[in-house]
């Protein structure tokens, strides 16, 4: 009974605002009898961070979220500090991105940002499951895969003719050392020369191995490795562990 009421309410109220009902591949949508909103034109002018704020991903400097307020004892629509990784993604020349691989898609918020920002790219969204991801857009492809499985990743590369053709990898999946390393070892060699590999949310207590591996610059064909701090820390969000973003650039 409770489940039925919940389902009914969710159908009636757009409570979870990450779900857009409009078709984002269209140039406009029609509303209130004959009014048309040409949103696509303006969408293409937004910066990477603006898109992250709009589509509510934690790559943004801040974003809107429904959170439980323990003092008010109810859910409230609020603003939450994000990692601010957007500043690093916006350094990438968007005209050069033709194939982007996202590991960990969840509800598709970042996939939507990639899709809107890198208009000329094909976006491969990799995840174990897409049950929470209702989003569809022409330039993105959902791939059900376990990022830990190197053989499956190799098959994904072959099937999609991505050998040495990936321009950007955004890793935001399981966040376990073995998963991160296995994916990197298959996908990095298939980056094009000068391509980028972003590894998000590396936390020292959980990912010391990954942190030290990249700090030690162990891998071949690497032009540069940057380890930068996310905006999330004690001063921006009390109790938040310090997250790091690792940016690996492939040699030209």
Ligand X SMILES: C[S@@+](CC[C@H](N)C(=O)[O-])C[C@H]1O[C@@H](n2cnc3c(N)ncnc32)[C@H](O)[C@@H]1O
Residues that bind ligand X (CB under 6 A): 57, 104-106, 109-110, 126-129, 146-148, 172-174, 179
CB of 149 to ligand X, least distance (A): 8
Least distance from ligand X to the Cβ atom of residue 127, Å: 4
Nearest residue relative to ligand X (C-beta): 104
In whole angstroms, the minimum distance from the beta carbon of 145 to ligand X comes to 6
Task: Provide the β-strand partners of residue 36.
Answer: 30
Distance of CA 119 to the CA centre of its chain: 15
Helices (H), the chain: 2-12, 39-43, 48-54, 86-89, 109-117, 150-159, 177-187, 204-215
CB of 171 to ligand X, least distance (A): 9
Query: How are beta strands 99-103 and 122-127 bridged, if at all?
Result: parallel
Any idea which residue has 């429904």 for tokens? Answer: 66
Q: Work out whether the CA dihedral 36, 56, 98, 143 comes out positive or negative.
A: negative
Of residues 28 and 130, the one with the C-beta less far from ligand X: 130
Q: With the C-alpha atoms ordered 151, 128, 106, 123, is the resulting torsion angle positive or negative?
A: positive
Q: How many CB atoms lie within 10 A of CB 218?
A: 10
- Of 129 and 238, nearer to ligand X (C-beta) is 129
Cβ of 86: how many Cβ atoms within 10 Å? 24
Instruction: Output the smallest distance, CB 35 to ligand X, in A.
Output: 31
């Amino acid at each position: 009974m409770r489940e039925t009421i919940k389902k009914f309410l969710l159908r009636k109220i757009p409570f979870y605002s990450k779900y857009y009902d409009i078709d984002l591949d269209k140039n406009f949508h029609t509303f209130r009898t004959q009014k048309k909103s040409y949103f696509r034109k303006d969408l293409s002018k937004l910066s990477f961070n603006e898109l992250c704020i709009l589509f509510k991903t934690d790559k943004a400097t801040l974003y809107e979220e429904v959170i439980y307020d323990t003092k008010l004892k109810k859910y409230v629509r609020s603003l939450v500090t994000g990692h601010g990784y957007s500043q690093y993604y916006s350094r990438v020349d968007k005209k050069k991105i033709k194939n982007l691989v996202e590991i960990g898609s969840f509800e598709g918020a970042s996939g939507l940002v990639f899709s809107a920002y890198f208009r000329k790219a094909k976006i491969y969204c990799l995840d174990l499951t897409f049950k929470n991801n209702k989003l569809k857009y022409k330039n993105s492809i959902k791939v059900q895969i376990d990022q830990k499985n190197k053989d499956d990743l190799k098959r994904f590369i072959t099937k999609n003719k991505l050998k040495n053709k990936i321009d950007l990898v955004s890793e935001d999946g399981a966040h376990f050392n073995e998963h991160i390393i296995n994916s990197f070892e298959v996908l990095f060699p298939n980056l094009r020369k000068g391509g980028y590999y972003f590894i998000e949310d590396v936390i020292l207590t959980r990912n010391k191995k990954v942190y030290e591996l990249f700090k030690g610059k162990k891998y071949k064909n690497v032009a540069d490795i940057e380890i930068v701090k996310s905006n999330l820390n004690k001063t921006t969000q009390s109790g938040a562990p310090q997250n790091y973003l690792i940016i690996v650039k492939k040699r030209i």
